[in-house]
Structure formats: C-alpha cells, structure tokens
Amino acid sequence: MNLNKQERVTLVAKLEPASNPIQTRSAWTLFFSLPIFAWAMYDFANTIFSSNIVTVFYPFYLKETLGKSEELNQIASTFITYSNALSSLFLVLLSPLFGVWIDRTGKKKAYLVPFTLIAIAATLLMGASAIWHTDQQWMGLNTSILGVIFFFMVAKFFYNSSLIFYDSMISDLGSEREIPIISGVGVAVGYVGTLVGLVVFPLINGNHFENTFIPSALMFLLFSLPIMFLYKEKPLKPVSEKKSLLSGYREIWATFKEARKYRAAFLFMIAYFFFNDAIATAIAVMAIYANTVMGFTTGQFILLYLVSTVSSIIGSFLFGYVTRSLGPKRAVTIVAFVLIVAIAIASLATSQSLFWVAGSLYGVSMGAMWVTSRTMIVQLTPAQKRGQFFGLFAFSGKVSSIVGPALYGSITLALASTGNLASRVALGSLLLLVIVGLIVHMRVPQKLHSST
C-alpha cells in the first residue's frame, strides 16, 4: 500500500466545505457520478504505477541486474533506497510551489494531466532503457541500468507531484458530509488497482522484470483517460491575492513556528516523523529483502504483498474501534509495539513462515498507524488551526520518506561485504526509529486539546 493514500485520506480533515452543499448521497450514487467516477479511476490508475513499479518490479529488476552475489545484492538495495530518497528530496523541495500554483490559478487538472503524462513517459523510457543493449559504462554501471534508475526517479517525482493536484480536487466533488465517503471510494478503488496491475506478472518470463515496465505505463495511461477527458474542472474563482513563488516556503515555516506553540501536537509530529520513517522505508525495501534474504520467489512475494495489503485494510478497520475505546494516544502506542514486533521478526527471521507473520503484522500496523495518527492530530489541535497542522503533518511524512531510505541504503552500502547480514542490520536499524518515536510519543500530554 502506498503511503500517499494515507496523506490523501488525512487531507479530508483540512478541507473546507465544498461550495453549494448538497444532500448526502450513498456511496454507490457517488461512485456513479461522472466527476467522482473519473476522479476515483485516477486512484485506480496511479496505484498500478505505485504497486507495480515502486514496490514490486523496479526493486526486483535492480536485484536481478545488479545482485549477482550477496554483496552485490546489498549494492542493489542501496540503489533502490537512494533513488527513492532522492526522488522524495526533490518532492519536498518543490511541493510547496505546487500549493502556490493551485492558490494562484485555481487550476488542478491543468497541472495534473501534464504531470501524469510525464510520469507515464518516464515509465515507458524505463522500459526502453532496460531493453537497450549496450556495453557503455558510467561510474562502473551499465548505461542501460543507469537509465532505468534515472527515469524511475523522474517518474516517481512526477507521480507524487500529480497527487498534490489530485488530492486537492476532492473539495470540488461533494458536500462536507460527502467528502469522507468520496475519499473512501477513491481508496477502495485504488486497492482494486493494486490487484489489476498484477496481471503483468506472467510477462516476467524468466525474471525479465523489465518486461512489466511498458505494460504498467500503458495501464497507467489507460485508466487515467477518464480524468483527462471526463472530468470537468469547475470555473476558476477570482484570486483574492497574488502570491509569490516563495510564499509556499514561508507558509511552511510560519506553520512550523505556529506548531511549536502547541507542545502536545508538536511532540506528536516528531514522533510521527520517526514512525513514518520506518514504515516508508520498509515499503521501499520489502520486495528485495524478501527475495534476497528470505528466499521468496517473485510469486511468493506478490502473494505476501497482497496478504499485507489485506492486513492493512483489517488494521485500519480494527483500530478505528480500538482508538474509539482506548483513546488515540494508547492506540498509537499499541500500533508502535506491533510495528516493533513486525520489524524485529522480519530482521531476525530464519524461516519463511516467520516472515509471513512479520508481513501480516506490518500490514496491520501500517493501516492502523494512519487511522490512529490522524485521530491523534484531530484531538491535539484546535479546529481553527487544524488545516495548518495537517499540512505540516503531510509535509513531515514527505521529509521522513527521505531519511529512512537513505539510512537503510547507507548501511547496506557500508556493510555490503557481509552479504545478507547487511540487510538484516539495515532493517533492524528501523527499530531504533520506532523506539525513538515511541519515547517521544510517551511524552505527549495525556490530556488532549479540545477539538472545538
């Protein structure tokens, strides 16, 4: 499951009511509304990219092309995590500008479409580069492989950037009471995209994982067509004030300073940074770790991935009730312990059966962390400041998606000569992130801020 879906649903809490509120419609009625159908199908489309390229087949491709030994497997892990971290770095640097573009122009689809097309084109170029046979080398790597890595970073950056415009569209689709239902429809349709995207699995035919890149890009394009052609953007509203391009950075800094005045919320932001660090890193490396360290075949891993996704759905549902019964602070604490157990088992497991347990527990903790942390933010912040805090919450998640992968990749690079032990140590290092987050979380005052 993709962490952007977490940010997508938490975005609901900071949106203003849509103009011209209407009577709440049923989920089925909402889905068959043409604008909402087109919007939800984009979630279906981009999840195919996120699942097929980011989580499964790009990591397997690098492992297959670079990992000719245990030491080289660790080098492959380093390239996977560094390329993810570098893409996230550019997103952190530039995403504040995208918010300014939306505020200044009122346009969302006008940016989403070209960003999506660039992401699709870069994915197609990943496939073209992978099948390009050349003896040229640069920095010790075949130019063909370097091309795949470069175009992956471009594709992932524009994919993540397009989500900023996509997420902001939700406020135009229904009334305040309908927005949570619409958001849920989008996420549910996205999960179906995960399943449909895996129809490319037979194409690997002898570990040729690069064969999935072009078909995945074409599916991304196909299922993006509804939002490109059927979604009609609302007429632009007059812009009350012109904002400079740098105003996005100033707003983030102002929000950060504002957050420091609310000690409980600020402390939890820090804790969440470490929790999300561990979660985002595990998502990026789960495929290659399962394959190289635990000996999972591609088919076994895909089944594990689907089980983890189902576990995430179950965790989200279950911890909604746990949070309501025990309160969000205790619920987050429980989730953190589940995450610690999952990572500990995964890093120490010597049998595949134990790794199945770890994968299932990780799925539960991933879904549950989204539910509990969102509720925690709502209860820790005053209503009139909540939008600012959720903005900072999402930005914190983007920054943490740099640090964890960079840490993991640095460890596998430094300890590459130790073979699979390097990956175990790197995965085990994520325990420290969760423990630090838990220590900070325990310092959050028990008495929560009034939500009114």
Where is 92: in which H helix or E strand? Answer: helix 70-105
pTM (predicted TM-score): 0.78
Phi-psi region of 134 (alpha: psi -120 to 50; beta: other; left: phi over 0): beta
In this prediction, residue 177 carries a pLDDT of: 65
All CATH 1.20.1250.20 domain ranges in the chain, comma separated: 1-13+26-242, 246-452
Are residues 151 and 130 in contact, defined by beta-carbon separation less than 8 angstroms?
A: no
Please name the residues in contact with 164: beta carbons below 8 A apart, sequence gap of 6 or more: 95, 98, 99, 102
Are residues 288 and 63 in contact, defined by beta-carbon separation less than 8 angstroms?
A: yes
Polymer length in residues for the chain: 452
Collapsed DSSP state (helix, strand, coil) of residue 67: coil
Rounded-to-10 torsion of CA 113, 114, 118, 123: 10
In this prediction, residue 426 carries a pLDDT of: 92
In this prediction, residue 5 carries a pLDDT of: 52
Q: How far is CA 207 from CA 15, 65, 100, in A?
A: 45, 10, 44
- Count helices and strands (H / E) in the chain: 16, 2
In this prediction, residue 34 carries a pLDDT of: 87
Domain 246-452 has CATH 1.10.760.10: no
Supply angle C-alpha 427, 432, 438, rounded to 5. Answer: 125
Nearest Cα to Cα of residue 320 among 9, 73, 81: 9
> Could you read off the pLDDT tens digit of each residue along the chain, which spans 452 residues?
444 554 554 454 444 444 444 456 665 676 678 888 999 899 899 989 998 999 889 998 988 888 777 777 788 888 888 898 888 888 888 877 787 777 777 788 999 999 999 999 999 999 999 998 877 877 667 889 999 999 999 999 999 889 888 877 877 787 766 665 676 677 678 778 888 998 998 998 888 999 999 999 999 999 999 999 999 887 666 455 666 667 777 777 777 777 677 788 888 888 988 998 898 888 888 888 998 899 998 889 989 988 888 888 788 778 878 887 888 889 899 999 999 999 999 999 999 999 999 999 998 898 788 778 877 877 787 766 665 666 677 677 778 778 888 888 899 889 988 888 999 999 999 999 999 999 999 998 865 544 43
In this prediction, residue 452 carries a pLDDT of: 39
Q: Where are the beta strands (DSSP E) in 18-65?
A: none
The encoded tokens of residue 84 equal: 């993810």
In this prediction, residue 450 carries a pLDDT of: 44
Mean pLDDT score of the chain, rounded to an integer? 82
> What letter represents residue 53's amino acid?
I
Domain 1-13+26-242 has CATH 3.40.50.720: no
Q: Where are the beta strands (DSSP E) in 229-376?
A: none
In this prediction, residue 206 carries a pLDDT of: 81
